[in-house]
Chains A and B, each alone.
Chain A
């Protein structure tokens, strides 16, 4: 059993810390307030290779493993979740292309993302399709050598800044079984009939772009279909282990960042003639926060490591995601409590962490869905 990180992984962590401290932290409050996408920071991050780091080296990425990307996500999220998500989400959807794409598709779609020239996205959720993915109603119909896409997608990360989206569409309405008849089709945002409406007023991760996508007779060439026609549901499900480990890492990062801020504040803030970190009430809070964060981290790393080994980790990935996202919310809550009144305004980052944490319990499968998955695996039931 080996719990250590490699020298390379430690070096990645340190360089990401340097980048975040210098480039992200000074601008985090402004991007949160203005609810705008941090294009310049994303460009710099792309130069460093933080965008699409899991894309294979032959397509311009760094070829990083799930555990490597988990470490990067943890570090970036510990400084600012909104900007971190903006950076890491630039390659959303590319996992399907990496796994199921043809050589031509990989060159067309992966290379510009790895180079930071294009931003991708994944479009699954719809106004009436959240946790029940099989209810997707956006449809794609074959017309000659083109697909014609119609429908709406909701809560789509990078919606107004993305260059292309991997869209989950119903391609065979007559297919038997609720998981059959779906395909993943790439829709470029410059196609006629494509429209994106930015969603504003989000509680947290406000630097990250979110939008509703509207497809009105959008025509794309048939070679934009990724993998096997009508088999996308199973294709999609394969990535949940890795992506849930990724969201678990976000939770660990948020908890780590909230703890870091709380520790600093507790040592600086003086009341009754001493710093409040001298009070046992505060010390116990800090101790619990640190312990919970470490537990979430270990669960997350274990899940990521197993993904990397090619093991079946559905249960473990869901456990990590559920536990780490809950830890993020709880630790951010206690961190704010330690700040007292100062934590209730955005003079300190903790107010932002508190708002940002909540999304990790919602996206990529809600807490309730994760528990369903864990229970199903425990009880040996299929899905």
Chain B
């Protein structure tokens, strides 16, 4: 069985930051592997360690700079990586779901995996739609927000538990091939081992252009434009007291009385 995991280097933001136009100023930004993808990778690697999967392949859309982040997945146990980039993508401000789908579906067509794992969402753009949209386009079965996966995958069925609103969970059987979007907490992602980091340097990382995949450049233009970025105004204040309950309970009581919550 082959598992394909979509991964992304996301932008991380410091606690204090400034917005310039429709973006956060560069000096407040860092980068990291998308948190949800880390769980998806761990799930795939565990399936491989349990003898269910034979090969784990990661795919990302991103410039050369992101290779170091992407190698984290190889260091944790993925076998090889594919990175898609193209001059046509350099100028794209906002890569929307449709554009990602157009690219990833070609990668999936070429790789023909039995199972595709995506993160539920990315920590920066948070579309939360790439996985499901891909499944729809590929005519794969899918399950979103998966927080448990049975590791036998017998008879080509993935038995999953999905997280719904309000603490409700749902058990579903999904026929393979399928796309599962993975929720944080499904497992405990490992740290890359030093040996893994060393081995990752020698694992294949294949770079493909839109032309290599047969994707038309117009596909990445997208229908969505980012028009504004701002910090929402806070509508309420938070008061935090530090110290033991003994010391702080009376202060809380006073505040509640002040606000008219308590008599």
Interface residues of A (CB under 8 A from B): 7-8, 10-12, 15, 18-19, 44, 47-50, 53, 57, 62-64
From B192, which residue of chain A is reached at the shortest CB distance? Answer: A15
B191 touches A64 (CB 8 A): no
Contact of A64 among B71, B192, B194, B200 (CB under 8 A): B194
B191 touches A15 (CB 8 A): yes
B197 interface residue (CB < 8 Å to A): yes
29 chain-A/chain-B pairs, Cβ below 8 angstroms: A7-B67, A7-B68, A7-B71, A7-B201, A8-B198, A10-B68, A11-B68, A11-B71, A11-B72, A11-B192, A11-B197, A11-B200, A12-B194, A12-B197, A15-B75, A15-B191, A15-B192, A18-B191, A19-B191, A47-B193, A48-B194, A49-B193, A49-B194, A49-B195, A50-B194, A53-B194, A57-B195, A62-B193, A62-B194
Interface residues of B (CB under 8 A from A): 67-68, 71-72, 75, 190-198, 200-201
Min CB distance A83 to B, Å, is 15
**Which residues of the other chain, A, contact B195 by a CB distance below 8 angstroms?**
49, 57, 62
From B67, which residue of chain A is reached at the shortest CB distance? Answer: A7
Give the complex CA separation of A49 and B192 in angstroms. 9
**Which residues of the other chain, A, contact B68 by a CB distance below 8 angstroms?**
7, 10-11
The interface centre, meaning the residue of B71, B193, B196, B201 with most chain A CB atoms within 10 A of its CB, is B193
Give the complex CA separation of A7 and B202 in angstroms. 12
Main secondary structure of the interface of B (DSSP, over half): helix
**Which residues of the other chain, A, contact B196 by a CB distance below 8 angstroms?**
49
The interface centre, meaning the residue of A8, A44, A64 with most chain B CB atoms within 10 A of its CB, is A8
**Which residues of the other chain, B, contact A11 by a CB distance below 8 angstroms?**
68, 71-72, 75, 192, 197, 200
Give the complex CA separation of A57 and B197 in angstroms. 13
Main secondary structure of the interface of A (DSSP, over half): helix
Beyond contacts A7-B67, A62-B193: 12 other A-B pairs, Cβ-Cβ < 8 A, are A7-B68, A8-B198, A11-B71, A11-B75, A12-B197, A15-B192, A19-B191, A47-B190, A47-B193, A48-B191, A49-B194, A62-B198
The interface centre, meaning the residue of B67, B71, B72, B195 with most chain A CB atoms within 10 A of its CB, is B195
Contact of B193 among A7, A18, A48, A63 (CB under 8 A): A48
The interface centre, meaning the residue of B68, B71, B198, B201 with most chain A CB atoms within 10 A of its CB, is B198
From A44, which residue of chain B is reached at the shortest CB distance? Answer: B191
Give the complex CA separation of A169 and B198 in angstroms. 38
The interface centre, meaning the residue of A8, A11, A15 with most chain B CB atoms within 10 A of its CB, is A11
The interface centre, meaning the residue of B192, B197, B198, B200 with most chain A CB atoms within 10 A of its CB, is B197
**Which residues of the other chain, A, contact B71 by a CB distance below 8 angstroms?**
7, 11
Min CB distance A254 to B, Å, is 22
Give the complex CA separation of A15 and B75 in angstroms. 10
**Which residues of the other chain, A, contact B197 by a CB distance below 8 angstroms?**
8, 11-12, 15
**Which residues of the other chain, A, contact B75 by a CB distance below 8 angstroms?**
11, 15
**Which residues of the other chain, B, contact A47 by a CB distance below 8 angstroms?**
190-191, 193
**Which residues of the other chain, A, contact B191 by a CB distance below 8 angstroms?**
15, 18-19, 44, 47-48
Min CB distance A278 to B, Å, is 15
**Which residues of the other chain, B, contact A57 by a CB distance below 8 angstroms?**
195
Min CB distance A248 to B, Å, is 21
Give the complex CA separation of A47 and B195 in angstroms. 11
